[in-house]
Homo-oligomer: A and B are copies of this chain.
Amino acid sequence: MRRDVFQAIADPTRRQIINLLAARQMNLNAIADSFEISRPAISKHIKILTQCGLITIKQQGRERYCRAELKKLEQVAKWTGQYRAFWTGKLNALEDFLDNEQIEQKPKLK
């Protein structure tokens, strides 16, 4: 089973859980109350988030407080960050130019 941050944040429910936990720590039932789906379903999402390090759990009696480990998102930010120039609007002219060049220059068969 692949367990990486990219896969973890692919699910919209899990992204929402992270959003919730970014604001404050919550126990599992509190999280489940914020969603329509069942508690065991949330429990599974939490497990996945824990396995890839996006949240950590602090046991407090019978409650388990979940805390978002937001530093883990740096990995994703770094990957997208490589391409940041492409939406800051600075590269558009160059980009279009290169696109055309590349096709013209492609090696012809034979």
Beyond A10-B7, A102-B24, A103-B65, whether A81 also contacts B71 by CB under 8 A is no
Copies of this chain in its oligomeric complex: 2
Contact between B83 and A22, CB atoms less than 8 A apart: yes
A86 proximal to B (CB < 8 A): yes
Contact B83 A25 (CB under 8 A): no
- Are B77 and A73 touching (Cβ within 8 A)? no
Nearest 6 A/B pairs, CB to CB: A10-B10, A70-B86, A74-B87, A70-B83, A77-B80, A71-B87
Show the binding face of A for B, using Cβ within 8 Å. Answer: 2, 4, 6-7, 9-10, 12, 15, 22, 24-25, 58, 60, 65, 67, 70-71, 73-74, 76-77, 79-84, 86-87, 98-99, 102-103
